[in-house]
Amino acid sequence: MIRRTMMLALASVAFATASYAADPIKIGVPVGLSGANSVVAPSVVQAAELAVEEINANGGVLGRPLELEIADDASGAAGAQKAFDSLVFQKEVDVLISMETSAARNAGLPIVTKGDVPYIYTSFYEGKSCNPNLYVNAWVPEQQVPPLVDNFTGKQGASKFFLIGSDYAFGRGMLEFARAYIEKSGASVVGEEYLPMDGSDWTAVISKLKASGADAIITSTAGGAPNVTLTKQLRSSGVSLPYGNLAVDEGTAKSMGAEASGIFLSASYVTSIDSSENKAFLAAMEKKFGSDLRTPNDLSVPQYEAIYLYKAAVEKAGSTETASVLEALPGVSFTGPRGTISMSKQHHAPLTMYLGQVQDDGSVKVVDSYKDVDPGEQCPNL
Among candidate residues 329, 311, 328, 376, the one with its CA nearest the CA of residue 350: 376
Q: What pLDDT score was predicted for residue 251?
A: 84
CB 102 within 8 A of CB 126: yes
294 pLDDT above the threshold of 70: yes
pLDDT band at 15; cut points 50, 70, 90? very low
pLDDT tens-digit readout, 148-177: 999 999 999 999 999 999 999 999 999 999
38 pLDDT above the threshold of 50: yes
What are the strands of the beta sheet with 364-373, ordered from one edge? 188-195, 160-166, 216-220, 243-245, 264-267, 351-358, 364-373
The whole-angstrom separation of Cα 252 and Cα 260 is 9
pLDDT tens-digit readout, 237-293: 999 999 999 988 888 888 888 899 999 999 999 999 999 999 999 999 999 999 999
The whole-angstrom separation of Cα 236 and Cα 221 is 18
The whole-angstrom separation of Cα 152 and Cα 157 is 6
Q: Which residues pair with 136 in a beta bridge?
A: 121
Q: What pLDDT score was predicted for residue 13?
A: 39
Quote the DSSP letter at residue 362: S
Among candidate residues 127, 109, 129, the one with its CA nearest the CA of residue 119: 109
The whole-angstrom separation of Cα 259 and Cα 262 is 8
- Interacting residues of 3 by C-beta distance below 8 A, sequence separation 6+: none
Q: Rg (Cα) of the chain, in Å, rounded?
A: 22
CB 159 within 8 A of CB 371: no
The one-letter amino acid at 366: V
Q: Which residues pair with 358 in a beta bridge?
A: 364
CB 378 within 8 A of CB 346: yes
Q: What is the mean pLDDT of residues 333-354?
A: 98
- Interacting residues of 325 by C-beta distance below 8 A, sequence separation 6+: 95, 118, 310, 313, 314, 317, 319
pLDDT tens-digit readout, 309-336: 999 999 999 999 999 999 999 999 999 9
Q: What is the mean pLDDT of residues 96-122?
A: 97
The whole-angstrom separation of Cα 14 and Cα 244 is 61
pLDDT band at 11; cut points 50, 70, 90? very low
The whole-angstrom separation of Cα 258 and Cα 358 is 9
Q: 184-191 long-range CB contacts below 8 Å, 24 or more apart?
A: 185/149, 185/150, 185/153, 186/153, 186/159, 187/149, 187/153, 187/158, 187/159, 187/160, 187/161, 188/159, 188/160, 188/161, 189/160, 189/161, 189/162, 189/163, 190/160, 190/161, 190/162, 190/214, 191/162, 191/163
Q: Confirm whether pTM is higher than 0.85.
A: yes
Quick one: 297 exposed, middle or buried, by C-beta within 10 A (0-12, 13-18, 19+)? buried
Within a 13 Å sphere around the CA of 331, how many CA atoms are in the beta-carbon half?
10
pLDDT band at 7; cut points 50, 70, 90? very low
The whole-angstrom separation of Cα 368 and Cα 251 is 20
Q: What pLDDT score was predicted for residue 21?
A: 52
CB 96 within 8 A of CB 73: no
Q: Which domains does the chain have, with CATH numbers?
A: 25-139+272-349 (3.40.50.2300), 142-267 (3.40.50.2300)
232 pLDDT above the threshold of 90: yes
